[in-house]
Chains A and B, each alone.
Chain A
Amino acid sequence: MKMLPDDFADLEAFAKIWALSTESDRFMKVSDSTLDEMRPFYDTTLPRLAEMSDYLQGRGHPYDWAYEDKNLLNLILALFEVYSPLFIHQKPGGSPLAVEAERLEVLTPCLWQMQLPKFSSKEGSES
């Protein structure tokens, strides 16, 4: 089954592994993955980040997003998860000075579960 919008069909294989639906799941996945598993995902996906962000910006309010749009956001958020182990600590599980990842309960709501009265798809005018 297709997971991502057609514009990002080339990232389908990564989506099947990384586009997990909660921060808790993504955090656990990254904590249990090797740097060699994270690296191709990061290197392939990062150059598409601006394009992915622009695409989602044009998709209206997250409450109305399609399944594929939500997976695309989850893929971006998984990309953020691999940044720290890959580039800051160079080890799976992140900081050696931290308590074990599995002990932390991550209760962060998904974007489409948040109260977002000011959310606008026209956002982006920087000054």
Chain B
Amino acid sequence: MTSTTKVIHGPGVPECVGGSISVEPYHSEESFKKERDHIFRKCWLNVCRTRDVPEPDSYFVRDLAMIGTSILVMRGEDGVIRAFHNVCAHRLNKVVWNESGACPKKGIQCTFHGWRYKSDGKLAGAPDRAEFPNFDASANGLTPIDCETWNGFVFINLDPQHEVGLREYLGEFGDILEEYPFEKLVPMSSYRIEIEANWKVVLDAFSEGYHVPFTHGPTLPDFIDTSLYHMHQIGLFERHHYGSTPANPDSLYSNSALPYLPLDPKVEEARPEMERIMSAFSRSNPAPEFHPDRLPEGVNPTKTKRFGFDLWTCFPNVVAIVSSRLMTHHFWPISPTRTVLESKIYAPDVAGIRDYLFHQFRNIVIREAVREDVKNPEETQRVLDSGARSHMLLSRQEALIQHFAWVRSKYVDSASEGNPTPGTDLLKSVAA
């Protein structure tokens, strides 16, 4: 089968037409520390959505175990969303312990000695302050972190000297998806799992369609097959990338939101019970702005009828599966061999009970596919230390993995002169 996948490269981006990459970054403590210091402490990170802090004084907490800190995102009384280290200025206790809530008018209070902070981070009160010599309240608010929003997503940057603002950092990801109606999507299903594998082993498993017929064959019977998984188009940019991924447009699990059509008789045979269930509630029409023909120009770039979704990676740790619906995966590193995956499925405004039931039937099966997606990475991690292979082999259809390794090495190796990650020399052929 000859690949018809079209590949678009940003300036200076290597071809990524297949090859091999080193397994060293997938399990070494040294690589993990470099990623912590040169990627997660330097890049813009999406920590929540604006709807997680919907009103003045609401807050959301994101713990970053890899960094050893906790981020407190708060919407001030002025409506501005700000981020802070969730660390008391007094004895450095964690101030807010729960995941979300509302800042009281008197301020959120540290459990240790009762210091209080307003939702703009300013110190609201410190008991017995006269006992502190030369006490300066203005210097003892919460420690701010740079925070910007894009399309309903809240990003932070832990590097006070970061080189570029959020919009520039997002580059083509921001350009192409600028008009996508993210804010009109309702979060429907939400899952979290801790995985015994390096964060990149897990992320890579969500970065190609090659595995789908094999890992998910029985679970998603009509979604994709071995003749269908080649990506229509791949876009590789300075930091981020996408792969426009095919699917059987008639599939229940396709993200195309095309009207439910009669299926191929062969497929019908494979899922008579699904048909029996589906017959009870017809797929309702998607909200107009999510109709496949009205999605922004850059979504489904080849305008194929066999559109499944565009699989975007927003470097370093977000995969967004974009179509007439949205699924996001966030990969949060814990240690060189432990990762937390957070997966959320969004739908255009739920219009009624039939619409809700359609989505939930589908989401429950997709949940099972996610459970399958994280099994292979754990088994991979168990044997990475074996030394059986120093490199892993990638096909053209795994270009996103190869590109990710290149972006990663730019951040990690440019900061560690003379000590490049082994194997990255294989990535140095730059596209003409």
A88 to B189 CA separation, bound complex (whole angstroms): 21
Q: Does A9 contact B (CB under 8 A)?
A: no
A17 interfacial by beta-carbon distance below 8 Å:
no
A126 at the interface (CB under 8 A from B): yes
- Residues on A with beta carbons closer than 8 Å to the beta carbon of B215: 97
CB pair A118–B287 under 8 Å, yes or no, is yes
Closest to A120 in B: B352
CA of A84 to CA of B362 in the docked complex: distance in angstroms?
11
Q: Chain A residues near B305: list those with CB within 8 A.
A: none
- Asked whether A105 and B191 contact (CB < 8 A) given A116-B350, A123-B355, the answer is yes
Pair A95/B186 contact, Cβ less than 8 Å: no
Decide: B193 and A46 in contact? CB cutoff 8 A: no
**Least Cβ–Cβ distance between A42 and chain B, in angstroms:** 9
A108, B261: Cα distance in complex, Å:
29
A76 to B361, CA, bound (A): 10
Chain B: interface size category: 35 or more
B103 shortest CB reach to chain A, Å: 21
B186-A99 in contact (CB<8A): no
Q: Are B193 and A117 in contact (CB under 8 A)?
A: no
B191 touches A107 (CB 8 A): yes
Of the candidates A46, A95, A127, the one having the most CB atoms from chain B within 10 angstroms of its own CB is A95
Q: Are B281 and A53 in contact (CB under 8 A)?
A: yes
**Stretch from B139-147, B165-173, B226-234, B270-278 forming part of the interface with A:** B270-278
Instruction: Give B361 Cβ to nearest chain A Cβ, in Å.
Output: 5
- Which listed residue, B188, B219, B285, B353, touches A127 by the CB 8 Å rule? B285
Which of the residues A27, A81, A103 comes within 8 Å of B193, measured between beta carbons? A103
Whether the pair A56, B218 counts as a contact (CB closer than 8 A) is: no
* Chain A contacts with B in 67-98, Cβ cutoff 8 A: 73, 76-77, 79-81, 83-84, 86-89, 94-95, 97-98
Interface status of B302 (Cβ within 8 A of chain A): no
Let me know if A84 and B219 touch, CB within 8 A: yes
> CB of B375 within 8 A of chain A?
yes
Judging by beta carbons under 8 Å apart, are B375 and A84 in contact?
A: no
Q: Select the stretch in B105-113, B363-371, B400-408 that faces chain A.
A: B363-371
Q: List the A side residues contacting B354 at CB < 8 Å.
A: 53, 57, 123-124
Decide if B284 is an interface residue (CB 8 Å cutoff): yes
CB-defined contacts of B356 to chain A, threshold 8 Å: 111
With an 8 A cutoff between CB atoms, is B282 at the interface? yes
Given A104-B193, A106-B191, output 16 extra A-B contacts at Cβ < 8 Å: A23-B189, A53-B357, A77-B364, A88-B219, A94-B368, A95-B372, A97-B376, A101-B371, A103-B193, A104-B371, A115-B51, A116-B186, A116-B350, A123-B351, A126-B282, A127-B285
Residues of B at the A interface (CB closer than 8 Å) are 51, 186-195, 215, 218-219, 221, 271, 273-274, 276-277, 279-282, 284-285, 287, 349-357, 360-361, 363-365, 367-368, 370-372, 374-376, 378
